[in-house]
Amino acid sequence: MAFPSRYRDRLMGLCEGEVVATIDYESPCLMLYPLPEWEVLEQQLVKLPTLNPQARRLQRLLIGHAHDLQLDGSGRVLLPQPLRDYADLNKKIVLVGQVHRFELWDADAWEQARTDWLQEAREEGTPEELGGLTL
């Protein structure tokens, strides 16, 4: 997978092209973190109480599926097969920027999820907490 050039330079400057990929435990996609962002998240996950079954499950899923990746000279990374299988990644993929991380989706799964989320947003309306947000 090749990162778009607008992200490539920033990733090289921020983390020398080192990223960590893991699964999203709620959606069929992958999450890719610049190494410094992943290290912060990993420390938070490690501090969760391991006797809490939900916390332990989250640790197992996110840390257990984490893979260190390195951008090559062309801004590409090789995604491990187990991660590609989890997200059902085929020829067409969508990279979605999320401020401190990226989500990587199969294009068809992304379109379906986006359609579903838009429909849910229309039906549920705007949460009160977002009432003062100006877009």
**DSSP H stretches of helix in 31-80:** 35-46, 53-64
Average confidence (pLDDT) over 54-70: 96
CATH number of the domain within which 61 lies: 3.40.1550.20
Does the pLDDT at position 53 exceed 80?
A: yes
Domain tally for the chain? 1
Q: Is there a domain that residue 133 lies in? A: no
Q: Is there a domain that residue 130 lies in? A: no
Predicted TM-score (pTM) of this structure: 0.88
Does the pLDDT at position 96 exceed 80?
A: yes
Domain membership of residue 31 as a residue range: 5-125
Q: Is there a domain that residue 77 lies in? A: yes
Q: Is there a domain that residue 134 lies in? A: no
Average confidence (pLDDT) over 35-54: 95
Does the pLDDT at position 24 exceed 90?
A: yes
pLDDT for the residue 126: 78
d(CA 60, CA 111): 29
Strand order in the sheet with 93-97: 67-70, 18-23, 30-34, 102-106, 93-97
Q: Give Cα separations from 1 to 10, 18, 55, 84, 112 (angstroms).
A: 17, 14, 31, 11, 22
